[in-house]
Amino acid sequence: MLKNRVKDEMVAAMKGGDKRRLGAIRLLLAAIKQREVDERIELDDTQVLVVLDKMVKQRRDSIEQYEKAGRTELAEQEAFEISLLQEFLPAALSDAEIDVLIDQAIVSTGATSI
């Protein structure tokens, strides 16, 4: 389960003394826990991925605002958090992989136009 992997990473960061990584992982676990409390459920992997996506989007917005305000150190911290969060997200498909999937869908459906 993805949530367990995040917890394992937190333990590893604690043992390794990586305070910056530990802080970011704790933020992620807090967001997961908050959603579980709000909705009175235990999140599955799909729901944890939604939380991760939301957190990445928030950090991208923050980076934009920090850069406009000239706060590069805060923008760098947000970029670090994005890189950490992306470790838990599935790898995105490349443009070539997307093109192959589209071509396969066209062939399998026999589509000739949009």
Query: Is a pLDDT exceeding 90 seen at residue 112?
Result: no
Per-chain mean pLDDT for the chain: 94
Each residue of 66-90: pLDDT tens digit? Answer: 999 999 999 999 999 999 999 999 9
Each residue of 15-66: pLDDT tens digit? Answer: 999 999 999 999 999 999 999 999 999 999 999 999 999 999 999 999 999 9
Tell me if 34 sits within 8 A of 56, measured CB to CB.
Answer: no
Q: What is the CATH classification number for the domain harbouring 70?
A: 1.10.1510.10
In a domain, 114, yes or no: no
In a domain, 16, yes or no: yes
In a domain, 66, yes or no: yes
What is the 3-state composition of the chain as percent helix, strand, coil, each rounded to the nearest 5? 80, 0, 20
Give which of 71, 85, 108 is closest to 2, Cα–Cα.
85
Number of domains, the chain: 1
| Structural domain harbouring 9 | 2-109
In a domain, 10, yes or no: yes
In a domain, 58, yes or no: yes
In a domain, 50, yes or no: yes
